[in-house]
Structure 1
Amino acid sequence: MDPWVNLPSVKAVLVAHLPGQEAGDSLSEVLFGEVSPSGHLPYTIPVSEDQYPESLDIVEGAGVQDTYLEDLYIDYRFFNKNNTKPRYAFGHGLSYTTFEYSEPTITSVTKLTRDLPARSPKGTTPVSSMNRTIPAASEVYQPSGFSTVWRYLYSWVSNGDANNAYKIGKEGTSKYPYPDGYSSQQKPGPAAGGPNGGNPALWDTAWTLSVTVTNTGSKAGKASGQVYVQFPDGNGYDTPIIQLRDFEKTATLQPGGSEKLEFTIKRRDVSVWDVKEQTWVVPGLDSGYKIWIGDSSDNLHLLCNTAKLGCEEGVDSPV
């Protein structure tokens, strides 16, 4: 949008995306000032196309094939890694009013360890009491005089197969040819596994945070608070500078009004996948994680530390 966004005639940019059947009502209310906008970008808008990674130009066949050559550095993570200032950062969004973020707090909820705790053992599967007497082979014979349809599967077997199976069962001299290394002993599953979502411990709340948002402008509006995690330096893993981990929106705040927003950081939010160990680990716990609070990825001035369990205001944004 750089060819036109700085033209004198362009006073503002309203990105509607896909507003649905209420497009007319919603846009007119914002344009005429009846409602203050509170949406924020779920992606980065660059100054020019060449700020995007090279994979943007990979086109095979009829469409774009993104092979994610950037690994974890997708969208704002890529821009931050390369110290590239975009036109509008990830999470950017304007309002007809202004907001102040203050009084950040952090509370420890669950003490984490580097490794996942063991999964809860599986419950025993009840086995119904069954009659183990081997029935006569004739019970699975094909009915006499029955005309079969080719390739149709029936619930009986040929007389010869039935007699052979009955003989094996009675004599007990033959065993199923299990492959080498087969064991009937059930081994414990991987630590990262479990029900939907993996090991339930991944969803444990590690810390809760709060911040007071005050409407310092002259119009009513809603604020969208965002929380980003910064992994400690030297944690042994390749991690982006900051990563969005939670966000919340206030109710409509009148001028001078305020509301406390609360956020949660779960174990999964500070975990990385170790390809050698094949499980999730939490690195750098002793050094502590930096938790940034603000209203976009490039406007973060409240900082909390998980090791010190303290917060600061007026800190320079990490990107």
Structure 2
Amino acid sequence: MKLKTTLMSIAIGTSILASGQQPIYLDKTKPIEERVEDALSRMTLEEKVRMCHAQSKFSSAGVPRLGIPEIRMSDGPHGVRAEINWNDWGYSNWTNDSITAFPALTALAATWNPEMSAIYGKSIGEEARYRDKNVMLGPGVNIYRTPLNGRNFEYMGEDPYLSGEMVVPYIQELQKNGVAACVKHFAFNNQERWRGSINVVLSDRALYEIYLPAFKKAVVDGGAWSIMGAYNQVWDEHCCHNSRLLNDILRGEWGFDGAVITDWGGAHDTKQAALNGLDIEMGTWTNGLTSESKSPYSDYYLANPYLNMIRSGEVPESTVDDKARNILRLIFRTAMNPDRPFGSATSPEHYAAAKRIGDEAIVLLKNNGILPLDPAKYKKVLVVGENAVRFLNEGGGSSELKVKDMFTPLDALRNTYGNGVTYAEGYRSGRAMYEREDRITQNTLDSLRNQAVAMAKDADAVIYIGGLNKNAFQDCESTDRREYNLPWGQDKIIEELVAVNPNVIVANVTGNAYAMPWLDKVPAVIQSWYLGTMIGPSMADVISGKTNPSGKLPFSFPKRLEDNGAHSFGAESYPGIEREGKSPQQQYLEDILVGYRWHDTKKIPAMFPFGHGLSYTTFEYDKASLSSNLMEGDKSITVTVPVTNIGKVAGKEVVQLYIADEKSSLPRPLKELKGFKKVELNPSQTKVVKFEITPDDLKFFDDKAHEWIAEPGKFKVYIGSSSTDIKSTLQFSYK
């Protein structure tokens, strides 16, 4: 059906060209707005409405009569998803849709390197072009509010500045391939429990200072061509047709000219969808994963019910004209863009990109000197843990990927450490499934644990590779985690392993923070992530020292769950409270104090702070300096800090700049990230890192005045290697 429609569109478009009467909308030399208006003037009301809703699971209609093609979409914030059937959630079982799995977006954020974002966007864009996709449903920039959110691995951490700086190059390079980014989930999709109904209550300060900045950067600086609405509600109105979010903020304040697309099942009302800024309804009466709609596409809210409302005069035809304009603009930028480059998939270049990103993403949390683990010294290495062999691209919901290759940690460690590597499963979690899970008996778990502990007694070192996976109630769409500790008895496994062998390196794979009751007993801890196709080589190279780790945490690791701001207020703040006759509701009671802002301001130390990450070398920070101690008007101040590698191996350091307002009319966090630079230094090499501080970096959102303001007064500049490891403190005045 799809091939037939495409050929028909090409044939009709060719016929129009052959007639010698080329319409403006087919002339790529004309300004895009002229082309949009010309195409719109030729469309019938029925054709306009038809563009506003899905025609299959992952496509929406074009206008075949005019040679305007359909829009083809694909899931995949970190890889192009396998082909899905036309009318159900089953896989099509193609033989040519295997792809490269790139690191999850938590890993990308952990690189703290916008250059990696650009490489990422370029590579995933090429794979999308190869698969003939027009819209990639990602990247995600929702804020990491609670470590129990099952979908945190798809996002870029707890800080809006870091997320914003990292998302822009991704979008720009992706869209150079003629593939639209669909930035998601707009907004406040910060948990999976009750995701389709929960109503979020938050202050305007939290809205503008924490939860919107990364989306704004994606739109204003990144130039995103589409946005996906979130499932949840805010202000008792669903986000996919929320007037304030879409009409007032997205289009009114930010000037967004792209298309707003629902999450699958995110629309709930025809009139609201007509009036409140939604353009394309991609799924109705579905949970977006497994459940099917029993109604045809023509019954969607923005299908026949919308057409009938227009015909009856209940909503004006101008609403569908606005939607069609946005959709046509998207089509001209993507499917009807003749200058798009050719795509490629699973190429050596893409594997190299995935490896490079993974190398920079891994975070060394703790090291007493055992790492790097010298292959010449440690001959008998026991690898324990299911994640050493598990294909972590499987499961997780819409991020599930069909990979051409997956290089596991166990295989890579065997390549590095040779025949002395043995393996014990340690625990078992069951098949990758959404919404439900296999039951593993306690006898099985005990047997696997005892076997691993027995084998550990004879090993020179133990590398434990466990953590979470993409099963339901772990790092998985549609469910949140049940607890902060690791599942399947892993804490007990680690405790017993280190009791019989002191050389235990914990190298867990997760997309979330987790409790570490054994932290003081193990000599080294590595935080890995879902690194995709090249997970094994990246992990093995960091463990062995071939790669010097340079990742930094994009979110805090609390010691206890209740040390997290969202959890400190109880159920009212997370997961929310059920209301009789209404949807569940939660209040963001931590307000603007999310993540390290909470830990710093409330003086609750994190287990591992935001921005933390060790190296196999040592970096020395000289005293930082300011170009001026006074900032006036729109002028900027330059901050410089010399950084030297005083160790014996080359390495990369992320220099972080935080700003504190010493006295403010409204409460502010102790400090906020306002700059970072990643520098590569050889042994004994020094580089001077420079930052520019502008008045925008000093501003907070005044909710009463509804504006950003920078108040005159004194400010502090903190230069550090994490949010708590501060190397220099400076002061300046603003007037």
Matching residue of 2:672: 243
Matching residue of 2:687: 259
SS at match of 1:41: coil
Matching residue of 2:658: 228
Matching residue of 1:105: 625
Number of matched residues?
A: 211
Query: What amino acid sits opposite 2:564 in the alignment?
Result: Y
User: Does structure 1 conserve the Cα–Cα contact (< 8 Å) formed by 2:576 and 2:587?
Assistant: no
Partners of 1:47 and 1:32 in 2: how far apart?
28
> How much has 1:56 moved relative to structure 2?
6.7
Name the larger-Rg structure.
1
Cα distance change on mapping 1:96 and 1:288 into 2, 3 Å? same
2:557 to 29, 45, 53: 45
2:546 to 34, 39, 64: 34
**Do residues 24 (structure 1) and 450 (structure 2) align?**
no
Partners of 1:5 and 1:213 in 2: how far apart?
30
> How much has 1:103 moved relative to structure 2?
3.6
**Do residues 299 (structure 1) and 728 (structure 2) align?**
no
Matching residue of 2:518: 4
Deviations 1:24-58 (A, max 9, x none): 22111111001111111111111122212335742
Matching residue of 2:527: 15
The share of aligned pairs that are identical, in percent, is: 31
Matching residue of 1:122: none
Q: Superposed, which structure 2 residues align to 1:1-319 within 5 Å?
A: 1-7=515-521, 10-53=522-565, 54=568, 57=571, 58-60=574-576, 67-108=587-628, 111-113=631-633, 206-233=636-663, 235-251=664-680, 253-283=681-711, 285=712, 287-307=713-733
Task: Extract structure 1 runs of 4+ deviating beyond 3 A.
Answer: 64-67, 108-113
Partners of 1:254 and 1:301 in 2: how far apart?
20
**Any stretches of 5+ residues in structure 1 without a counterpart?**
114-203, 309-319
Partners of 1:26 and 1:264 in 2: how far apart?
34
Structure ranking higher in helix proportion: 2
Cα distance change on mapping 1:70 and 1:208 into 2, 3 Å? same
Cα distance change on mapping 1:49 and 1:81 into 2, 3 Å? same
Q: What TM-score results when the alignment is normalised by the length of structure 1?
A: 0.61
> How much has 1:249 moved relative to structure 2?
0.7
Partners of 2:682 and 2:622 in 1: how far apart?
17
Cα distance change on mapping 1:205 and 1:20 into 2, 3 Å? farther
Partners of 2:575 and 2:665 in 1: how far apart?
35
Cα distance change on mapping 1:290 and 1:273 into 2, 3 Å? same
Cα distance change on mapping 1:307 and 1:18 into 2, 3 Å? same
User: Does structure 1 conserve the Cα–Cα contact (< 8 Å) formed by 2:639 and 2:690?
Assistant: yes
Query: What amino acid sits opposite 2:543 in the alignment?
Result: L
Partners of 2:635 and 2:534 in 1: how far apart?
37
Partners of 1:289 and 1:80 in 2: how far apart?
17
Partners of 1:215 and 1:231 in 2: how far apart?
31
User: Does structure 1 conserve the Cα–Cα contact (< 8 Å) formed by 2:639 and 2:692?
Assistant: yes
Cα distance change on mapping 1:84 and 1:34 into 2, 3 Å? same
Moved more, 262-271 or 29-38: 262-271
SS at match of 1:256: coil
Matching residue of 2:133: none
Query: What amino acid sits opposite 2:644 in the alignment?
Result: T
Moved more, 100-109 or 272-281: 100-109
> How much has 1:109 moved relative to structure 2?
11
Q: What TM-score results when the alignment is normalised by the length of structure 2?
A: 0.27
SS at match of 2:538: helix
SS at match of 2:717: strand
User: Does structure 2 conserve the Cα–Cα contact (< 8 Å) formed by 1:216 and 1:256?
Assistant: yes
Partners of 1:268 and 1:56 in 2: how far apart?
35
